[in-house]
A and B are shown apart, each in its own frame.
Chain A
Amino acid sequence: NAGVTQTPKFRVLKTGQSMTLLCAQDMNHEYMYWYRQDPGMGLRLIHYSVGEGTTAKGEVPDGYNVSRLKKQNFLLGLESAAPSQTSVYFCASRSVFPLENNNEQFFGPGTRLTVL
Chain B
Amino acid sequence: QKEVEQDPGPLSVPEGAIVSLNCTYSNSAFQYFMWYRQYSRKGPELLMYTYSSGNKEDGRFTAQVDKSSKYISLFIRDSQPSDSATYLCAMSEAAGNKLTFGGGTRVLVKP
Residues of A within 8 A of B (CB): 4, 31, 40-45, 48, 58, 90, 92, 94, 96, 98, 100-105, 107-110
Contact = CB atoms under 8 A, between A and B. Distances in A.
A71 B44 CA distance: 22
Contact of A42 (B42, B45, B49, B103): B103
A58 B97 CA distance: 12
A103 to B, nearest CB: 5
A107 B43 contact: yes
Interface residues of B, number: 24
B98 A48 contact: yes
**Residue of A4, A94, A102, A107 with most chain B CB atoms under a 10 A cut-off:** A107
Given A98-B95, A102-B96, A103-B95, A109 B104 contact: no
B43 A40 contact: no
A101 B44 contact: no
Contacts of B4: 42
B41 interface: yes
B13 interface: no
Contact of A43 (B42, B49, B96, B101): B101
B107 interface: no
27 contacts: A40-B8, A40-B103, A42-B4, A42-B88, A43-B88, A43-B99, A43-B101, A45-B98, A90-B44, A94-B96, A98-B95, A101-B46, A101-B49, A101-B95, A102-B95, A102-B96, A103-B32, A103-B34, A103-B49, A103-B95, A103-B96, A103-B97, A104-B49, A105-B99, A107-B43, A107-B44, A109-B43
